[in-house]
Amino acid sequence: MTQRFDRLSPAFGVEAHGFDVARLPESQFREIEQAFFSSQVLVLRGQDLTAGQFLEFARRFGPPEPHVIDQFHHPEHADILILSNVLRDGRATGLADAGTSGHFAQAQAVYPTLSQDLDTGVHQSPAEVAVVVAVGGT
């Protein structure tokens, strides 16, 4: 598949097509990084990533900063915060109110937020802008 970027709106946001972030050569990462920083929001759909692969991709943008609320850290990777409004057996599966304080995703520093839907929705913080990585589906 040919790599391309489609604008999501005239003001900001781009969706990347044809990239496999689990096997991303440096030259393609630089294209993604440039698109991300020039459009503030980057969407990559249909990625097949483990939590470890997701974190490896996230670290290419800079060092992660674990969220201070450790109740919903990923069980294998404390640098990943699970954001979710899904309840299982009446219990929260992730932090549900990540956007109620007027910040975008998990904005806490100048590094990119990377979001990944791993069943309940896994997000790695912090950021002022966002890369959304969708696993499976479209």
Banded pLDDT at 30 (limits 50, 70, 90): very high
Mean pLDDT of the chain: 75
pLDDT of residue 7: 94
Rounded to whole angstroms, what are the CA distances from 107 to 48, 52, 58, 64?
Answer: 25, 22, 15, 12
Of the chain, the percentage scoring pLDDT greater than 70 comes to 70
- Say if residue 22's pLDDT is above 80: yes
pLDDT of residue 24: 93
| Total Cβ atoms within 10 A of residue 76 | 10
H or E segment and range at residue 87 = strand 87-88
CATH code for the domain defined by 4-135: 3.60.130.10
- Say if residue 76's pLDDT is above 60: yes
Condensed to tens digits (0 to 9), the pLDDT of residues 87-116 reads: 889 998 888 876 554 333 333 333 344 544
pLDDT of residue 32: 93
Condensed to tens digits (0 to 9), the pLDDT of residues 35-58 reads: 988 888 888 888 888 888 888 998
- Which runs of consecutive H residues, i.e. helices, occur in 1-138? 26-39, 51-59
Per the omega criterion (within 30 degrees of 0), is the bond before 126 cis? Answer: yes
φ/ψ of residue 116, rounded to 5? -145, 135
Summary count for the chain: helices (H), strands (E): 2, 9
Find the range with the poorest average confidence among 12-16, 27-31, 36-40, 131-135: 131-135
pLDDT of residue 34: 92
Q: Cα 90 from chain centroid?
A: 26
Cα–Cα distance, 26 to 99 (Å, whole number) = 32
